[in-house]
A = this chain, B = another copy of it.
C-alpha cells in the first residue's frame, strides 16, 4: 500500500502540474489574441494575433501587410478601442455575476484562508475554474488595470482541487488536499511569471501556514511540471515563458545605490498608499455598489480605455509595456523613441502621467467583480516610475559627466541603463504591495537571469520593507482577509496578555459516551451546526474522552444504514472495549491510539470497519472518535494557543481543567477576540515586524 500511495502522490502532483501548465498556455494565447483584437485584425485568419499574423515579417510596426488596423481615422480607431474594452468587460462581469460569483477578485486571500483550514464550499469548484479561466483573458484584454497573476494562482488551485478530488485519498483528507493546494499555488505563480523557484518561494512565504520540507518538495515538483508543460507548449513562440522576460548585459555601479534607495522608498510608499485607499474603495463598493457589479466593471473599463488611449504606455497591454520599459536601449529597445535624448523630457512626462494614472486606476479597479490581480499592475507602475527615474539619472549624467559621482563611468555614455531602473522599480512596487521579499527577488531574477542585479534588487526590497514597516502596513492579501472578516490567524505573534479561558466557548454541545440512541444524535445534529462534538464520560466530572467531527458522524450514520439493521432507537456507543479495538486494528495498519482508526481514511476501508463492527444491537461510533484531541489548560496564554493553531493546524483545541472539559476554542473564537483587541495598538517599527 505504501508503494502504491507513494506512486499515486507522484502521479497526482504531476497531473496537476501538467493541467496547470496547459491551462496557463491557453489563457496566454487567448489573452494575446483578444488584446490585439482591440487594435485590428489579421486578414490571413481572424484567429491570428498580431505577432503570429506578422510572423514571417521581421522588424515591426508598419511593414506587416496582413495586419489591418480597424480604421485609419483616429476617432474611429479610438471608438472601436473603447467599444471593445466595454464589450470585453461587460461579457466578463456578466459571466461572473450570473454563473460564478467566486470567480471575482484575486483569490489569494481566500486561498490563504482555505490553506489555513477555512472551508469555502465551491470556491475551488469546476464552475469557478471554468468561468475564471474564460473571463480572465477578457478582463486583461479589456485594458482594466488588473493583472492575471493572482487569478492564475486561484485557477491553479481550482485545477489542483478538481484533479485531486478524483482520488479518494485526497478527497477524504483535508491535510493531503491542503498539500496539493499549496503545490498548486506554487505552480500558479510559476506559470504566471515563468519562474518555477519563485513559485516555490511564494508558496512558502505567502501561502503555507505550516512549513514542511515535504510540502516544499511537492511544490517544487508541481511547479517544475507546470513550467515544463508551459515551456513545451511555448505560447509566445519565442522560447520565453513570459512576455516581459529580458536579459541585461551591463553591470551596475556602487553610486547608483542612492537611486535604488529612491526606488525602494517609492515601493514602500506605493504599497502603503494602495493598501489604504483600496480598502476605502472596497468599503465604498460594499456599501453603495453591491448591486451594480457589471455596471461598475464596464464603466471602469470605459474610463480606463478612454483616458488610457492617450498615453503610449497605457494604451498597450501592461505586460507588453513592461517588456518595453525593461529593455536596454541597444538591440531594438528603442520603442517609440524612448531612448532618444532629444525626447527625454516629454518621455518623462509621459511616464509620470502613466504612473499617477495607473495608481489611480489600480486603487479603484482591484477588487471589482471580475477576475483581477494586483501583481502585474503594481509591477507596471513600478516600471514606469523606475524608467522615469532612470531617464532622469541619465539626463543628470549627460549634464554633468565629469562630476565626482559619475567618476567610475569613465565617459562611457552607456553608464546608466534606464531599463534596469524600470526593472528594480517593478520589484519595489510588487514587494511594497504584497510585502514579499525573497519571492520577489527570485521572480525578478528568473525574469532576467541577471546575476549582477540580485544585490541591487535585494537592496531595493530592503528599503521597501523598511518603509512599509515604518508606515505600519501589511500586505494587501492580509488586509483583504481582515477586511472580509475571514477566519485567518496572522503570522505575526501578538501579546494579548490574557489566558485562553477568557476567549474559549463555554457552552458546548457535548455527547455522552453512551446512553444515546440514533434519534438523539440525529436531533442534536439537527439542532446545531457546530463542526464537531466533544465526547465525555457520563460521570459528574465530565471527563473528556474524545472529539468527533460532525462530518465523520454524519458519514458513519449514513453508511451504517446500508450495512446494519438500524432503527431510530438503536443505541450508539462512543466507547470501545479492548476486544473491539483489536478487531479493527487488524484492518488498519496505522496508529489506532493516535486518533480513531477510521478518522480520515478512505471509503473502502471505512466501509470494511463499519462491517466489522456491525451488530444488531448497537451502532459502534468509536472508530470515528479522535481519542486524543489537542487539549490545554485554561490558564495557558492566548499567544501560545495561537501558536498551537498556527503550527499544529488543528481545527479545534479543547480546554481541560484537571481532567474535566471546560471549554473549546476554534480559530473563529480567537479572531473574534483579536479583532477587538487589535485595533487598540499598532506601533510602527515594532520589533516583531523586523
* B454 adjacent to A686 (CB under 8 Å): no
* B458 adjacent to A224 (CB under 8 Å): yes
Q: How far is the CA of A6 from the CA of B688 in the complex (A)?
A: 8
Query: Does A221 make an interface contact (CB < 8 A)?
Result: yes
* A197 adjacent to B438 (CB under 8 Å): yes
B residues near A221, Cβ cutoff 8 Å:
462
* A455 adjacent to B231 (CB under 8 Å): yes
Which residue of chain B is the closest to A257 with respect to CB atoms?
B228
* B636 adjacent to A591 (CB under 8 Å): no
Which residue of chain B is the closest to A495 with respect to CB atoms?
B591
A454/B458 contact (C-beta < 8 A), A495-B590, A594-B639, A648-B643 known:
no
Query: Does A628 make an interface contact (CB < 8 A)?
Result: yes
A497/B593 contact (C-beta < 8 A), A636-B628, A648-B643 known:
yes
Which residue of chain B is the closest to A628 with respect to CB atoms?
B636
A455/B640 contact (C-beta < 8 A), A6-B686, A591-B497, A593-B497 known:
no
* B591 adjacent to A224 (CB under 8 Å): no
B residues near A449, Cβ cutoff 8 Å:
449-451
Q: What is the predominant secondary structure among interface residues of chain A facing chain B?
A: helix
* B6 adjacent to A689 (CB under 8 Å): yes
Query: Does A3 make an interface contact (CB < 8 A)?
Result: yes
Specify which of B9, B197, B591, B687 is in contact with A687 (CB 8 Å cutoff).
B9
Specify which of B200, B228, B499, B630 is in contact with A438 (CB 8 Å cutoff).
B200
* A441 CB, nearest partner CB in chain B, Å: 6
Q: How far is the CA of A499 from the CA of B357 in the complex (A)?
A: 63
Specify which of B217, B224, B591, B657 is in contact with A637 (CB 8 Å cutoff).
B591
Specify which of B10, B213, B227, B458 is in contact with A196 (CB 8 Å cutoff).
B458
* B438 adjacent to A224 (CB under 8 Å): no
* B5 adjacent to A687 (CB under 8 Å): yes
A6/B220 contact (C-beta < 8 A), A197-B441, A635-B627 known:
no
> Interface range on chain A: under 10, 10 to 19, 20 to 34, or 35 or more?
35 or more
Query: Does A216 make an interface contact (CB < 8 A)?
Result: yes
A633/B628 contact (C-beta < 8 A), A454-B446, A648-B644 known:
yes
Which residue of chain B is the closest to A239 with respect to CB atoms?
B251
* A284 CB, nearest partner CB in chain B, Å: 31
Query: Does A47 make an interface contact (CB < 8 A)?
Result: no
Instruction: Name 8 interchain pairs, CB-CB below 8 A, sorted by A.
Output: A200-B438, A218-B690, A228-B459, A445-B446, A594-B640, A644-B648, A647-B648, A658-B659
Closest 9 CB pairs of A and B: A658-B659, A449-B451, A211-B211, A647-B647, A594-B637, A497-B591, A5-B687, A6-B687, A224-B458
Please give 20 more A-B residue pairs, beta carbons under 8 A apart, in addition to A227-B455, A543-B658, A593-B635.
Answer: A3-B685, A6-B686, A214-B688, A216-B437, A217-B437, A220-B458, A224-B455, A445-B446, A449-B451, A497-B590, A497-B592, A593-B637, A594-B640, A628-B635, A628-B636, A628-B637, A633-B656, A648-B648, A658-B658, A658-B659
- Which residues of A are at the interface with B, using a C-beta cutoff of 8 A? 2-3, 5-6, 9-10, 196-197, 200, 204-205, 210-214, 216-218, 220-221, 224, 227-228, 231-232, 239, 245, 247, 251, 254, 437-438, 441-442, 445-446, 448-452, 454-455, 458-459, 462, 465, 491, 495-499, 543, 590-594, 627-628, 630-633, 635-637, 639-640, 643-644, 647-648, 656-659, 683, 685-690
